[in-house]
Structure 1
Amino acid sequence: MISSAFAQAASNPELVASVWNSPTLWVAISFVIFLALLARPTWLFVTRSIDNRIQEIKNKIEEAAGLREEAQDMLAANKRKIFDAEKEAGEIIAQAREEAQVLKARLAKELEEVLKRRQQIATDRISQAEADAVEAVRLLTVDIALNATEQILSETIKGKKGGKLINNSIKELPKKLN
């Protein structure tokens, strides 16, 4: 097809001259030159814009990756803190239970000692009361015996000598009983 156009143009030189004089051809050539002149700056502008957009997207992706890594580090740190806190709480509870058992044992021992002391005090008081009662009975027996002796002697021995004898005997009797 192109070769037939060349063949026709060679056979008809007027046709070739008329093509060069056509304004449509010159508008087309001007348009192509215009596009060629604008193509490089436009291409540079478009590629620069695309490169800038690509760089912005890469920066956002890197920032997001950094934020994700930071969030994962924070999550791991918080999980570690929670684990440590739970472990510490368990240790505190175990220690509190041990202290409660020790306190319970100590209080039971102290209560037992207090009860033993109170029992000993009660036993001592009972013993003292028994001793006091025995002493009171002994003294009462001595008084009764003295009174009975005095009465018997005074009935059997009459007079001054009898009174003196009775009084001396009564005075010496407590010395002999102790």
Structure 2
Amino acid sequence: MMTPDFWVLVAFVIFIGLAVYLGLTKKIVAGLDARSQRISDDLDEARRLREEAQRVLGEYERKRREAEGEAEAIIASAKAEAERLAADAKIKAEEFVARRTRTAETKIQQAEAQAIADVRAAAADAAVSAAGKILKSRASGEIGDALIGHGLQEVRTKLH
């Protein structure tokens, strides 16, 4: 009985007895229960935070998808607008070229008409002058001058 194992057993039994008598077991159990409750509360808080993080992550992913959709829509709209502007610019350039061509053609026609009129006027003046010289050389006197003047006036009127 005097072995160290025996005295360790006796001390342990006395310790357990004192712990029960002094109510240490209730304090130990209460402490363990409090610790268990804190751990449970921490787990609940961690679970709640995880769910909130997942909700926030889902919300941000939804917003990212919406932003990507909006960006794609903006890009598509910009491309369509650029194509429309390019088509408008092409049409305006073609209209400008057509207008310039018509203006140039009109100026050319006017220049041709003016040139023809100038040539006719020069031909008429030359014909009148030649006719006047011929008539003056053949007709003489006051009656001849009157006939020549009248004839030249008539030739000028018909040629112009």
Q: What TM bracket, shorter-length normalisation?
A: 0.7 to 0.9
Correspondence for 1:157 = 139
User: 1:109 & 1:139 partners in 2: Cα distance?
Assistant: 44
Tell me if the contact between 2:128 and 2:152 (Cα under 8 Å) persists in the aligned partners.
Answer: yes
Cα deviation code 1:99-149 (max 9, x no counterpart) = 222221222122112111111111111111101100010011111111111
Q: Shift in Å at residue 34 of structure 1?
A: 5.6
Query: What fraction of aligned residue pairs are identical, expressed as a percent?
Result: 37
Q: 1:51 to 1:35 in 2, by over 3 A?
A: closer
Q: Which amino acid aligns with 1:137?
A: V
Q: Shift in Å at residue 58 of structure 1?
A: 1.2
2:64 matches 1:82:
yes
User: 1:120 & 1:32 partners in 2: Cα distance?
Assistant: 119
Correspondence for 1:107 = 89
User: 2:74 & 2:16 partners in 1: Cα distance?
Assistant: 86
| Deviates further, 100-109 or 143-152 | 100-109
2:104 matches 1:130:
no
Unaligned runs of 5+ in 1: 1-30
* TM-score normalised by the chain length of structure 1: 0.73
Q: Shift in Å at residue 162 of structure 1?
A: 2.3
Unaligned runs of 5+ in 2: 1-14
Q: Which amino acid aligns with 1:76?
A: G
User: 2:135 & 2:44 partners in 1: Cα distance?
Assistant: 132
User: 1:33 & 1:78 partners in 2: Cα distance?
Assistant: 61
2:21 matches 1:37:
yes
2:154 matches 1:172:
yes
The CA RMSD measured in Å over matched residues stands at 2.2
Q: Which amino acid aligns with 1:152?
A: I
User: SS of 2:140's equivalent?
Assistant: coil
Q: 1:153 to 1:175 in 2, by over 3 A?
A: same
Correspondence for 1:94 = 76
Q: Which amino acid aligns with 2:103?
A: I
* TM-score normalised by the chain length of structure 2: 0.81
Alignment of 1:16-31 (within 5 A): none
| Deviates further, 155-164 or 85-94 | 155-164
Q: Which amino acid aligns with 1:56?
A: R
Q: Shift in Å at residue 35 of structure 1?
A: 5.1
User: 1:36 & 1:102 partners in 2: Cα distance?
Assistant: 92
Q: Shift in Å at residue 174 of structure 1?
A: 3.2
Q: How many residues align?
A: 147
Between the two structures, name the one with larger relative contact order (CA 8 Å, sep ≥ 6): 2
